[in-house]
Amino acid sequence: VRALLLPLLCILAAGTLLGLGYNAVRAKDRIEIGRAYFAALAGAPPTVPGAGAPQVTETWDRAAPPIIPDTGAYLRAVAAGFRMLTVHEAHDYFLAAREAPERIGFLDAREDSLYRAGHIANALQVYYYDTARSVEPILFLLEKVPFLVVYCESVSCDDAFLLCTLLTERYGIPKERLRLYYGGMVHWRAYALPILPGNWVL
């Protein structure tokens, strides 16, 4: 048994030390050991009356009643008190942001590759999992802009909700200033709304 246990312990210890060492010096996507990345997702999602299948309507029909998604991310965000935006409302904010970019900012909560492939025009990438690289350098901007529209890939992704929670809880941005556009890039693309590829450089 000792002949097996000693090598196993050595491998586990050496691997852990190597992992911690590399994690400490990596420039990007450093894992914060003590950070509860998914604390906001603990427990079963709450129920919201009238929740149904999250579908994109085939026509740009503003008169149609908004569909209430039944995904965990949506239900949790509603229960947490965030103001949710449909794709129509997000588009209104987008047009308003063109007129007054100092008043409305769009935040893309997705990872680098998805952001580079195409994001809502003029949206900044704010990656929830790498705050040191993506939140802290632009915090001065986030604190100034009165309204921030946050989105991720689709109605099923949690990252926009998690980012909203982080911005309120860690960085003290009031909930009232945040808008969570829940349809994400999937709805935005479905309506052929303006998309830009590449990085947005401050």
Question: Which positions touch another protein (CB under 8 A)?
Answer: 3-4, 7-8, 11-12, 14-16, 18-20, 22-23, 29, 31-39, 41-42, 111, 129-130
Residue 23 or 199: the one with the smaller Cβ distance to another protein is: 23
In which order are the strands placed within the sheet that holds 104-108? Answer: 83-85, 178-181, 147-151, 104-108, 124-125
How far CA 185 is from CA of 87, 90, 91, 194, in Å, comes to 10, 11, 12, 11
Distance CA 17, CA 12 (A): 9
- Residue 127 is given by DSSP the state -
Closest approach, Cβ 105 to another protein, in A, equals 23
Residue 42 or 201: the one with the smaller Cβ distance to another protein is: 42
Closest approach, Cβ 152 to another protein, in A, equals 12
Residue 38 or 140: the one with the smaller Cβ distance to another protein is: 38
- Residue 155 is given by DSSP the state T
Closest approach, Cβ 110 to another protein, in A, equals 11
Closest approach, Cβ 157 to another protein, in A, equals 10
